[in-house]
Each structure stands twice: as structure tokens, then as C-alpha cells.
Amino acid sequence: MKGLVIFLVLFFGVWDLAWLLAGVGQTPPWRLRRQMAAKPPQLLDVRTPAEFALFHIPGAINRPDALTVPAAQLGLDPSRPVTVICMTGHRSPFVARKLGKEGYDASNLTWGMLGWLVSFGAVATGSNP
């Protein structure tokens, strides 16, 4: 069991570092909470509709197709920052990188919604209005 925990800690650390080196900004949950209190970024949740309905950050839009459609079709304002969200922070970096290449100021929510929950971030339930 101890070996598994060490492996997981190393894996997640290397994963986050690799995306940082690839130019994908990371937004830790505590930083996003501060941003939400001041000038909130756009929140793009790329999880499935079922995952999104269970719990999501209030104000997030659910676009599980964000990796496959042009950024212009996502309904995002290119002049505002975007934080991309998934469940664990392992799907969203791909979308954040894509948005960055298309000129958006995009970052990945570090550790995803699980990190958000552990840091006591506010959540809502249900689907998009």
C-alpha cells in the first residue's frame, strides 16, 4: 500500500510538471477561490454531463466536446481568462493547451474538481440552465 501511495504522488507530480513545462498554466484550487471572489475567470468544465450534474463550480459551462470543436464555438470571451476543469486534472490540460494555442489565456484547475472539493470550494448540482 505504501508503494502505491508513493507511486501515485510521484505520478501526479510528474504529470503536473510535464504540463507546466508544456506551457499549460496551472491554477490551484485556493487561487481560483481568490479569483472567484475578485474577478472570476470563465469556467469551462470538460467532464461528461453526468459528472457535471453531480457537482460543479457555480457558473461553469459544461462542454465535454471542447477538445474537438473550434474554440470560437465554445461561447467563450477571448479577452477574459479561462480556467478549464475536469474531475482530476487529467483531461482538462489538453483543452487548456488547445485554447492557449488559439490565443486564449487558459489554465488548468490543478487536481480538478476533486482538488476543488478537498479545498472546500463551493459546488452546485444539476445541469446547465
Question: What would the mean pLDDT of 22-39 be, rounded to a whole number?
Answer: 90
Mean pLDDT of 14-37: 81
* Interval 29-56 mean pLDDT: 96
Q: Which residue has the higher pLDDT, 5 or 65?
A: 65
* Averaged pLDDT score across all residues of the chain: 89
Q: 3-state SS string over the chain?
A: CHHHHHHHHHHHHHHHHHHHHCCCEEECHHHHHHHHHCCCCEEEECCCHHHHHHCECCCCEECCCCCCCCHHHHCCCCCCCEEEECCCCCCHHHHHHHHHHCCCCEEEECCHHHHHHHCCCCCECCCCC
The tens digit of pLDDT for each residue in 52-96 reads 999 999 999 999 999 999 999 999 999 999 999 999 988 999 999
Task: Please provide the CATH number assigned to the domain covering 2-118.
Answer: 3.40.250.10
Q: Report the pLDDT averaged over residues 19-38.
A: 86
Give the global pTM.
0.86
| CA dihedral of 74, 100, 29, 91, whole degrees rounded to 10 | 70
